[in-house]
Structure 1
Amino acid sequence: MGTVKANKVDLGVESFGNENDPLILLIGCTTMLAWPEALCEALAAGGRHVVRYDLRDCGESTAGNPMKPAYNLRDLAADAAALAELLDDRPAHVAGIGVSGMIAQVAALDYPDKFSALTLVGTRPVAPGPVDNDLPDHDQATMGKLFSRPMPDWADRESVAQHSAEGSQILGNDPEAALDLASRIWDRTASAEPEVHMANQIGIVFSKLDCTPRWRERLPELAIPTLVVHGAKDPFFPVGNGEALAREIPNASLLVLENASTAIPTSAFSQVADSMLHL
């Protein structure tokens, strides 16, 4: 792990595989740890140079006040394009998971010469906030359970990790994996400020970002191979969102993980890696 400067900001990065191989750039959600090491290693074993990175205000990347971000969604897309260019003079395969899938869509649309392929995992074609009428919104029963809980003490590692594990179980993910992930995210958070820990753990910055203008209507412009991966049991961005992406992006392929929710389960790593490698 280390940091590199791209688009005038420092971004925390980690590399897997041979630097001479074609680049797969994995956008963090919000930290790079959203992309499991075993998945990164499987992609690298398939002959790719894999780089995962932290978004601004997360991990080892440039940090400010995540409650008042001095950047917008387009800036995060520009970060991805600048990092891809810095790492390889060839167009890169870019991938986003959850809210970072929104960044990946905008990056591929705004910088078509920088990217050769696109993978979107568990995301949707519109920004955080009110959803389009034809798209399924968050499952309200699940969201009620998730957000009715008291917030953890963001200054306490154990409290944060336990809160994450409980939330993961509500969402239908593996709570033990979430406990470990939250602890690792905590350990990499550069600031002791509670707001920064919250930004690293739950991506609160996305509720503060300017995500205009819309990009959904531009999806038919995408002319690169695209893979849409979605958990069949995802209550946060229900699978209809992935189906819409696959319909609206020309020639996109859809991989529905029947036993998955919002996270890629360990049992699906090889299937996801193989699908990404065949784009």
Structure 2
Amino acid sequence: MTERMVEVDGVELCTESFGDPADPPVLLVMGIGASMLWWEDGFCRMLARGGRFVIRYDHRDTGRSVTYEPGRPGYTGADLVDDAARVLDGYRLPAAHVAGVSAGGALAQLLALRHADRVLSLVLVSTSAAVPGDRELPPPTEEFLRFVTSGGAEPPDTEAVVAHRVAYARMLAGGRRPFDEEAVRAVIRREAERARSVAAARNHELLADGDRPAAPLSSIAVPTLVIHGTADPMFPLPHGRDLARRIPGARLLTLTDAGHGIERADWPVVVPAVLGHQAGTGG
């Protein structure tokens, strides 16, 4: 794997690649407030061994990418969408297969609407429609709402931040499977240690949408795979079903008892599904 900084339109983004640049490219888009480390090394290597050139990157205000003053982000959600295209520009790639988790899945949808020529296929994990629809969907679980409303401001010192984020990850896991606290804590600690500013990641909670495409999800023309856990506390399963219904030809893969995100236990199912999906598009 090779980490490199790319700067496009004056925006500096930290990226990392796995595999052979001659293989079909896959761009991984993480959720809001999270660095690229949540696309774990082992997951990226499995995709690369399947014949993919895998690129992950830190959003603005996460990891080693450009940061802004905490509480005063100088960009919008639309800029985060454009950042995905900027990463492709930095690697001189006209297009890529795109996979997004959580809010990264929403960014991936908007990328397919805003820059349709840059997206070969979509994989949307633990997410919901980025464009309003015609059905009322269930809210997050009571446990999720209790956590986010009672947690208050994130503590200032690193150890307290790690403890807070481990508790959040435990809640997101859904509670139906054993929680691998040691592995999660290692990712969170590494993320905190490499960040330019731990506090800056909270800027993502303050972002305005910016210029959003007016096109409906039904205009997405690339092959789409929706992956959703049955125990997701942030976006209950009907969100994934709705997303698969609204994107023409989309397929839904459900992960029994999985929470929010991609757990290591699901890699043996998710990676072949992703590779097979992308291969079916000619990539």
What TM-score comes out, normalization by structure 1 length?
0.88
Q: What is residue 167 of structure 1 aligned with on the other side?
A: 168
| Secondary structure in 2 matching 1:64 | coil
| Cα distance between partner residues in 2 of 1:276 and 1:143 | 31
The answer to whether the 8 Å contact 1:38/1:269 transfers is: no
| Cα distance between partner residues in 2 of 1:134 and 1:273 | 31
The answer to whether the 8 Å contact 1:10/1:62 transfers is: yes
| Secondary structure in 1 matching 2:225 | strand
CA deviation after TM superposition for structure 1 residue 146, in Å: 4.7
Q: What is residue 49 of structure 1 aligned with on the other side?
A: 53
The answer to whether the 8 Å contact 1:165/1:176 transfers is: no
| Cα distance between partner residues in 2 of 1:144 and 1:132 | 28
After superposition, residues 85-234 of structure 1 pair within 5 angstroms as 85-126=89-130, 134-149=136-151, 151-154=153-156, 156-172=157-173, 174=179, 175-191=181-197, 195-196=199-200, 199=201, 204-211=202-209, 218-234=216-232
| Secondary structure in 1 matching 2:97 | strand
The answer to whether the 8 Å contact 2:113/2:215 transfers is: no
Q: Structure 1 vs Structure 2: percent identity of aligned residues?
A: 35
* Cα-Cα RMSD: 2.2
Deviations 1:126-168 (A, max 9, x none): 37xx9986112111233214542354523x2221111122222
| Uncovered stretches (5+) of structure 1, i.e. residues with no partner | none
Does structure 1 residue 84 correspond to structure 2 residue 88?
Answer: yes
| Secondary structure in 1 matching 2:248 | coil
Does structure 1 residue 247 correspond to structure 2 residue 245?
Answer: yes
| Cα distance between partner residues in 2 of 1:177 and 1:223 | 37
| Cα distance between partner residues in 2 of 1:190 and 1:237 | 30
The answer to whether the 8 Å contact 1:228/1:255 transfers is: yes
| Cα distance between partner residues in 2 of 1:140 and 1:84 | 39
The answer to whether the 8 Å contact 2:172/2:233 transfers is: yes
CA deviation after TM superposition for structure 1 residue 276, in Å: 1.2
| Secondary structure in 2 matching 1:278 | helix
| Secondary structure in 1 matching 2:216 | helix
| Secondary structure in 1 matching 2:14 | strand
The answer to whether the 8 Å contact 2:30/2:102 transfers is: no
Deviations 1:175-222 (A, max 9, x none): 33321221011011113xx632xx1xxxx3333111256668611111
Does structure 1 residue 71 correspond to structure 2 residue 69?
Answer: no
Letter in 2 for 1:247: R
| Cα distance between partner residues in 1 of 2:259 and 2:145 | 14
Residues 216 and 235 (structure 1), Cα distance of their counterparts in 2 relative to 1, 3 Å cut:
farther
CA deviation after TM superposition for structure 1 residue 248, in Å: 0.4
What TM-score comes out, normalization by structure 2 length?
0.87
CA deviation after TM superposition for structure 1 residue 9, in Å: 0.5
| Uncovered stretches (5+) of structure 2, i.e. residues with no partner | 278-283
The answer to whether the 8 Å contact 1:31/1:58 transfers is: yes
Q: Which runs of 4+ in 1 moved over 4 A?
A: 130-133, 212-217
CA deviation after TM superposition for structure 1 residue 237, in Å: 1.3
1:268 pairs with one of 242, 266, 269: 266
The answer to whether the 8 Å contact 2:109/2:130 transfers is: no
